[in-house]
Amino acid sequence: MTTAYCFDLDGTLTRQELLPLIATSVGLEDEISALTQATIEGLLPFDKSFKLRVRLLRDARLDWIHAALDKHVEFDRAILDFIARHPEQSFVVTGNLDLWVKPVLEKLGIHSFTSTARLDDLGRLEGVENILHKGDAVSSLRSRFDRIVAVGEGMNDVPMFEAADWRVAFGGVHQPNKELVKLSDFVTYDGNALCRLLSTL
């Protein structure tokens, strides 16, 4: 039986939320952190929150963003090792913008699903072309895999969990969203424990 492993990016594969890191490059960390936390807790719908955050960060220089992520992003080492053993079965499913997180995803070296940016004629960020629906990403893998395991921590992971066969809420960085926990088959707070669990499913 073939299994796909779908991982959220921010706060699951990474030890930080990425948008607050990006915001430091333009001095908007307080505003972005507040919106990000409200979204994780389910107080603000992801689509609306994400568009607001992109609007705030639209003028941030891409080289500054990539430099900030390159310098500060840390990955959960145990999960990275698991992915390295299952590269064809592992997928990143993130609502983050392709334009912003490209260097982070390149380090992971696996297939990813992201939201996509809308650019103007000069190649500058204008807005959001498409916000990823995580459930659609999971469903697109059905023809290739017998079952799908989803790993995440925030409210925007709910559609991914609803479309998966096994659901693991992961609190490696912060407490998983309460609604997500209700949908979960398992809850774990340690990367090593998560990977042992994934190996048994």
Mean pLDDT of the chain: 91
When mean pLDDT is compared over 29-38, 80-89, 172-181, the highest value belongs to: 80-89
CA distance 79 to 63: 28
| Measured CA distances, 196 to 120, 136, 190, 200 (Å) | 46, 27, 10, 7
- Rounded to 5 degrees, what are φ and ψ at 133? -95, 115
Token pair 């307080």 is found at 30
Contact 95, 132 (CB under 8 A): yes
Contact 32, 100 (CB under 8 A): no
Contact 74, 56 (CB under 8 A): no
Closest by CA position to 170, among listed 148, 141, 192: 192
pLDDT in tens, 138-165: 999 999 999 999 999 988 899 999 999 9
CA distance 92 to 56: 25
Give this prediction's pTM.
0.91
Average pLDDT over residues 110-115: 96
What is the structure's pLDDT at 18?
87
